Structure 1
Amino acid sequence: MSNSNNKVALVTGATGGIGFEVAKRLGQDGYTVVLNGIEDEAGAERVAELTAAGITAEYYGFDVTKEEEVTANITAIGEKYGKIDVLVNNAGGLGGRQRFEEMTTDFYRFVMALNLDSVFFASRASIPFLKKGDLPTIINYTSNAGWNAGGPGAGIYGTSKAGVHAITRALAKDLAEYGIRVNAVSPGTIDTPFHAQIKSTKPEVFASWKNNIMLGRLGQPEEVASVVSFLAGKDAAFITAETVQIGGGQALGI
């Protein structure tokens, strides 16, 4: 139970993109940050980067879609630190695009596992340690696709994110008696490697995306991290079961 007086934050899918910026910001806020991912080399590099910036960080490699791996690793993390203060369920993704008529059951199950099972497994494993935390909180990630059901071929992604919206509120109800708050962020189009393929192959399409955003630009990962930082902190102590849109007004359409 070393460092049991420090605040401890676990961020899944934190070896790049928004997840890494969230981990960095929480580290700057004074948390010991535990990064999760499935790319061990990238994990080691990110930890070295954070350590060089004076942040206490470590990496646990496990697949958030695999129940036993999630439970074993989060239990180890919780027992090492004696508590978990913040769980950020950042891991997730599109998984590819398939229309329903041609959709394989394996693809369906993979996308649901990546976005929804992962939140359930990590949250369930963390609850005993969140109960010992200081201003404990869970922060999930949903998407506009959870409301508009996603673009062509992203219907099951949208379905999974609608599930995240619901489980966020359900967890908030279930955990309120322990003082554990549960909220979600809904990032709009953020300039990260998530969009690297379309950025390189169809730059004109990538550039056109900003035309659908009220503020006329894409978001930056740091702009998601700052909201996660707020939701994790004492200034948000009376906020639970909420979803914060971080999309420059994109959700309303223009």
Structure 2
Amino acid sequence: MSTKSKVAVITGATGGIGFAVARKLGQNGFTIILNGIDDEAGAARVQELKAENIEAEYYGFDVTNEDEVTSNIKAVGEKYGKIDVLVNNAGGLGGRSRFEEMTTEFYRSVMALNLDSVFFASRAAIPFLKKGEHASIINYTSNAAWNAGGPGAGVYGTSKAGVHAITRALAKDLAEYGIRVNAVSPGTIDTPFHSQIKSTKPEVFASWKNNILLGRLGQPEDVASVVAFLAGEGAAFITAETIQIGGGQALGI
């Protein structure tokens, strides 16, 4: 594989928004490093990208495991000599629990998935981002970072507030190296993330668009196009920002 093209590492990228981001960056000329924990899906996604003449590789590791994250990102950086973009896409609700009955294990698992993962991956990538071209990190926060989440999602909101803060902190830390750090905040995007409610309460799922100014749910490609913009030279003077991608959902109607 050529080391001349830009290299993008995307965590949690075997489906949903992550894979849409991978495809978009690949179409823009990046060599794509997909991460996930489903090796079969990872292999399939790599073949899909290669069928579109996109250079791609899959690295299977758990983003909550410090040693796995560190060793795999180091392996990518050493193989290609640099990393140009790190997209910390992996994350999730992790379940629901009110604080009174919340176990410490549940609390730590949600924080690990959404916040620790960003820290582990960013720390491991920084030495290679320093060697990158117009290098940047792109994180994912959520409306829950501001409104503290819905019923039982308080720790999810807490973790995403942490992502909002670490995005700005990393931007301060890395500005001297010309490395930009930004975040996107997707609204309700029609992905498998919402598959349970979509199948069990379709009328509730359908009603969500009523709270969105633009009158529709988002698609993975809506997020991918903004991530691709932030990863590109057109965003060369943007850092420490969070872009809402929710069709005006954050305003409420």
- Normalising to structure 1: TM-score of the pair? 0.99
Give a deviation string over 1:28-57, Cα, whole Å, max 9, x none: 000000000000000000001000111000
Shift of 1:61: 0.1
**Match of residue 104 from structure 1:** 103
User: Structure 2: how far apart are the matches of 1:142 and 1:243?
Assistant: 8
Matches within 5 A, 1:53-202: 53-202=52-201
2:201 maps to 1:208? no
Shift of 1:3: 2.4
Give a deviation string over 1:70-114, Cα, whole Å, max 9, x none: 000000000000000000000000000000011010000000000
Shift of 1:5: 1.5
What SS does the aligned partner of 1:191 have? coil
User: Structure 1: how far apart are the matches of 2:37 and 2:133?
Assistant: 28
**Match of residue 223 from structure 1:** 222
User: Structure 1: how far apart are the matches of 2:196 and 2:162?
Assistant: 27
Shift of 1:4: 2.4
Q: Which amino acid aligns with 2:206?
A: A
Q: Which amino acid aligns with 2:248?
A: G
Q: Structure 1 segments of 4 or more deviating over 6 A?
A: none
What SS does the aligned partner of 1:41 have? helix
**Match of residue 42 from structure 1:** 41
User: Structure 2: how far apart are the matches of 1:198 and 1:19?
Assistant: 21
What SS does the aligned partner of 1:3 have? coil
Q: Which amino acid aligns with 1:217?
A: R
Task: Kindly report the root-mean-square deviation, in angstroms, between the aligned alpha carbons of the 2 structures.
Answer: 0.5
User: Structure 2: how far apart are the matches of 1:234 and 1:180?
Assistant: 12
User: Structure 1: how far apart are the matches of 2:89 and 2:208?
Assistant: 23
Q: Which amino acid aligns with 1:83?
A: K
Q: Which amino acid aligns with 1:48?
A: Q
Q: Which amino acid aligns with 1:47?
A: V
User: Structure 2: how far apart are the matches of 1:252 and 1:171?
Assistant: 27
What SS does the aligned partner of 2:126 have? helix
Q: Any unmatched runs of 5+ in structure 1?
A: none
What SS does the aligned partner of 2:35 have? strand
User: Structure 2: how far apart are the matches of 1:223 and 1:15?
Assistant: 17
Shift of 1:6: 1.1
Q: Which amino acid aligns with 2:58?
A: Y
User: Structure 1: how far apart are the matches of 2:84 and 2:49?
Assistant: 19
